[in-house]
Amino acid sequence: MNRALVLAVGMVLIFAVSVCVLLYVMPAPHKPTDYLVTGAIGTLLCLVLLFVVLMKMPAKGPRGSSRPQS
């Protein structure tokens, strides 16, 4: 499976789960600012996931190889 597709699906799942959990934890009458806060926290978690995954992936060389040429 393509790495970009797996990353995108993972980000969507993290966003959906975090928003659902936060809306469940917050008290019942939700205001528009509650939705703003949960969306912002979900977006932050997605961006952290993206940053961590991209930092863990090896850098590719000029020809697409992940090894440095000697």
Structure tokens at 52: 């961590």
Q: Can you tell me the distance from the alpha carbon of 31 to that of 29, in angstroms, rounded to the nearest whole number?
A: 7
Residue 65 placed within a domain? no
Rounded distance between C-alpha atoms, residue 35 and residue 44, angstroms: 14
Q: Could you read off the pLDDT of 3-26 as tens digits, one per residue? A: 889 989 999 999 999 999 999 999
Tokens standing for 33?
A: 């600012």
Q: Most distant CA pair in the chain: distance in Å?
A: 63
Contact 42, 15 (CB under 8 A): yes
Q: Tens digit of pLDDT for each residue in 27-50? A: 989 999 999 999 999 999 999 999
Put simply, whether the predicted model's pTM sits higher than 0.75 gets the answer yes
**Domain assignment present for 20:** yes
Whether 13 maps to a domain, the answer reads yes
- Structural domain boundaries enclosing 43: 3-55
Domain count, the chain: 1
Q: What is the pLDDT of residues 54-66, one digit of tens each?
A: 898 887 767 766 6
What's the length of the chain? Answer: 70
